[in-house]
Amino acid sequence: MLQPAQEIDYLIIGHVCQDITPDGPRLGGTATFGALTAHRLGLRVGVLTSTSSDIDPLLAPLQTIPLICIPAEQPTTFKNIYTTNGRAQMLLMRAQDLRWHNLPVEWRNPAIVHLAPVANEVDPMLAGRFDGALIGITPQGWMRCWDEYGQVSFQPWMSARQVLGHAWGVVFSIEDVEGDEDFIHYLAGQTDILVVTRGREGCTLYVQSQPIHIPAPQVSECDATGAGDVFAAAFFVRLKATNDPLAAARFATVLASDSVSRSGLESIPKSATIQAALKQ
């Protein structure tokens, strides 16, 4: 575990994960992709997470980013299966919950807080604990349940009202809500800024419930894993920098679209792509 930095700009709270793939285990989770994206965008990033020593060999890509890691007996582990009908997902193991008392004092005043649950591990009350910060939410882990075999399925976001009252921006994919447009409209009515990513179709940005469609550049897709996490981190960073949700969503769409052309953590945005997106 790295010691916490005295100051950070971007705090992300959620599990770093072990993803089981045909090529073996690899590092995943919103906390991983989001942290690396924000770091590549020039921010001082800190991660509050929980895992076990079993995945220490996988953590090398995060070696330059301070982690506060709550020890667990096992790492959060997913197996994702992509089909023509979308993603089927299994939760094989889960690490510990993440709460306010786990956070060092030095990390309680960042500019951006990204709450990034993947398996209902983040205490929803954290959304109201950071005065003055941009609170970014990727709620997919609050909209998941799993059966005794680990089969993941959708569940209603029970803490939505509690969390959305504090959110500056909310990002999730159309798959996270199983295509339920009525539920999307309901959530958009509960917060000022919400984005639904739609894969190759781009995204829909809702500003005070009014939808704006943003198309995605067409690229050759190699691996879509982590694209939504890249989008979310890029969106929150640019929203804080510009206070312009449309500009932030366009920027994030470019980076996320480019990310699917590479596999695994190679999908983290390259400097040249970032500069081109900023010019656009």
**How sure is the predictor about 117, in pLDDT bands with cuts at 50, 70 and 90?**
very high
- Phi and psi, residue 50, nearest 5°: -145, 135
Q: d(Cα 267, Cα 180) in Å, to the nearest integer?
A: 28
Q: DSSP of 247-274, one letter per residue? A: HHHHHHHHHHHHHTTS-GGGGSPPHHHH
Closest CA to 175 of 154, 189, 191, 147: 154
Q: In this model, does residue 86 exceed pLDDT 70?
A: no
Q: DSSP of 74-96, one letter per residue? A: S--EEEEEEETTEEEEEEEE---
pLDDT, tens digit (0-9, with 9 covering 90-100), for 32-72: 999 999 999 999 999 999 999 999 999 999 999 999 999 99
Domains of the chain and any CATH numbers:
10-279 (3.40.1190.20)
Query: What pLDDT sits at residue 194?
Result: 98
Query: What pLDDT sits at residue 147?
Result: 95
Q: How many residues are there in the chain?
A: 280
Query: What pLDDT sits at residue 2?
Result: 53
Q: d(Cα 189, Cα 134) in Å, to the nearest integer?
A: 19
Q: DSSP of 165-196, one letter per residue? A: TT-SEEEEEGGGGTT-HHHHHHHHTTSSEEEE
More confident residue, 277 or 187: 187
pLDDT, tens digit (0-9, with 9 covering 90-100), for 195-247: 999 999 999 999 999 999 999 998 887 878 899 999 999 999 999 999 999 99
**How sure is the predictor about 6, in pLDDT bands with cuts at 50, 70 and 90?**
low
The C-alpha torsion from 213 through 214 and 218 to 223, rounded to 10°, is: -90
pLDDT, tens digit (0-9, with 9 covering 90-100), for 125-173: 999 999 999 999 999 999 999 999 999 999 999 999 999 999 999 999 9
**Region class of 123: left (phi > 0), else alpha (psi between -120 and 50), else beta:** beta
The residue type found at 51 is T
Q: Which of 13-27, 72-86, 260-274 has the lowest mean pLDDT?
A: 72-86
Q: d(Cα 226, Cα 239) in Å, to the nearest integer?
A: 20
Question: Do residues 198 and 175 touch, judged by C-beta distance below 8 A?
Answer: no
Whether this prediction's pTM lies above 0.75 is answered by yes
Q: d(Cα 117, Cα 233) in Å, to the nearest integer?
A: 14
161-170 exposure pattern, b = at least 16 Cβ within 10 A, e = fewer: eebbebbbbb
151: Cβ–Cβ under 8 A, 6 or more apart, which residues?
89, 90
